[in-house]
Structure 1
C-alpha cells in the first residue's frame, strides 16, 4: 500500500485476537471435521469406482477401481482444502506479497524486454512495490490483501471493499502513478503515462479476477504480467526503455 507495506514484519495485527489469529485457530480446530468429510467422500468414490468396474464386467478389478477413485477424490479434496488456506498466506502474514508478485513479473516479462524495479519512491511521497518499464509502456504495481470473505466490487463507478469505500486505496496509487510519470517525463523528455495496478492476494474479486474502478486496476497476482503482455507493443523503443529504467533507478529512492 502507498506509504508502507504490511508484509515485511509481524505486528500485533497477526497476533492476539486479530482476524488472522482467529482464522488460523478455527482452521486448526476444524481439521477433524475436514478429515471426516474427506473419508465420507472417499467412501462414496470407492463405491462408485467398484460399481463402474462391475458395470463393465471387470469384477476382479472392482476393488482396484474403487481404491483408485477413492484416492483421486481424497487427494483432490485435500488439495482444495490446502489451496484455500494457502491463498490466505499473505493476509495472514505468512508470505510477502511483493516477493510473490516480483518473482512472477520477472519470470514472465524478463525475456520480453521489460525492466522490473522493486520498492521505489519519490522523496517525501508514497512508495510502490514494483515499477515495470517495457515495450508496452510503464506500470506501477502495489500489493495488498484483505480477509478471504471481503467482496471487492464496483458500484456506480466507485470502488468498495465490503461495505467500505475504496477511494482511500485507489486515490493514493493513482496520484503516485501521476507523480512518477511527471518525474520520468521531465527527466528523460520521454512523455509517459503510468498505469497503476493493485495485486490482490486475498479477497473476493469478480469472476475473471480483474476489476477496474476509480482509475485503478485490481487483479489477482497471476494476471498482472498477462495484462502487461496484452498491452499493444511499440509504445517505447529499446533506447527509451533503457533511458527510463536508468533514470528511474537514479531518481527514485529505494523504499
Structure 2
C-alpha cells in the first residue's frame, strides 16, 4: 500500500474527503448531542421562568412562565443552530456566493441610482463577479468563502487568513481594479479609480465585520451595500454614471 503501513489498516474516516464534507458529517452526527444540550438549556430556562414567576407573585402561574421560558430557550437554541449551519452554505457548495451577493446589491443600491453589472471581464484578461457604478464611485466585488473557524484579520498592514498571508488573494483583485479603471477611463475620458472589495460568505471577521488591508476591503455580504452607500455621493455626476455604466456594459465581456 503506497504511503501506508502493512501493520496499520487505513481508517476511512480520515481519508479521501474534503473539509466541507467532514464538517457536514460531523454536524449531522452531533445532532443527538446538540439535542441533549438543548434539553438541558430548556430545563435551566424552566427553572429560571418558575423563579421569575414566584418573584413577581405569580404563584399560580409560575409553572406557565417556566414552560414559556423553556420553550423560548429551546426554540432560540434550535434557530441559532440552523442559522450557524446555513452560514456555511457557500463554503460547503450548497449555494453560490455571486448569486447571493448580486441579489443583495441590486436590492440595496438600484434605488439609490447605482448600476450593478454581474459577471464581467476584460477580454482575455481579468474577470470579476460584480461591477458597481454610482454617485459614490466605482467598485469591483468578488466572492470568497473560508472555513468557519478561519480568522480574517489585519496585522501591521498585512492581510491574514488564519496563519497564512493574504497577499495572494489581495494582489490579484487590486490589479484587476486597476485594469478595469484603465479601460473605463480610456473609453469614456472620465478618470476613475476603482475600489476592490471581497465579500466574505464564511469565515471569522472582526466585530465590526470589516477588514481593510493591502488595498482590499473585506466584509460580510450584507455589509457591502452599506459601505458603498456610505461613500461620498458627489464623486460622479448622473451623466458620468450613465456613460460609465453604458461603456462597461458594451466593452466588458459577460462571464
TM-score, scaled to structure 2: 0.92
Other-structure match for 1:235: 235
| Matching residue of 2:20 | 20
Runs of 4+ in 1 over 2 A off after TM superposition: none
Greater shift, 221-230 or 46-55, is seen at 46-55
SS at match of 2:128: strand
Q: How does 1:25-64 map to 2 (within 5 A)?
A: 25-64=25-64
2:177 maps to 177
Distance 1:48 1:155 in 2: 43
Structure 1 alignment gaps of length 5 or more? 1-15
Q: What is aligned with 2:135? A: 135
1:156: Cα distance to partner? 2.0
Instruction: Give 3-state SS (helix, strand or coil) of 2:198's partner.
Output: strand
State the Cα deviation string for residues 98-149 of structure 1 (Å, max 9, x = none). Answer: 1111111111111000000000000111211000000000000000000011
Distance 1:237 1:224 in 2: 22
Within 2, Cα distance between the matches of 1:159 and 1:43? 44
Deviation, structure 1 residue 175? 0.4
Q: Deviations over 1:211-235 (max 9, x none)?
A: 0111000111111000000001111
Structure having greater relative contact order (Cα 8 Å, sep ≥ 6): 1
- Between stretches 113-122 and 160-169, larger displacement belongs to 160-169
1:205 aligned onto 2:205:
yes
Superposition RMSD on alpha carbons, in Å?
Answer: 1.1
Shift of 1:171: 0.5
Q: Which residue does the alignment assign to 2:113?
A: 113
User: Matched residue pairs, number?
Assistant: 241
- Secondary structure of residue in 2 paired with 1:78: helix
Consecutive unaligned residues of structure 2, counting only runs of 5 or more, are 1-15
**What SS does structure 2 have at the residue aligned with 1:143?**
strand
State the distance in 2 between where 1:58 and 1:71 align: 18
- How far off its partner does 1:63 sit? 1.5
Q: Distance in 2 between matches of 1:124 and 1:155?
A: 35
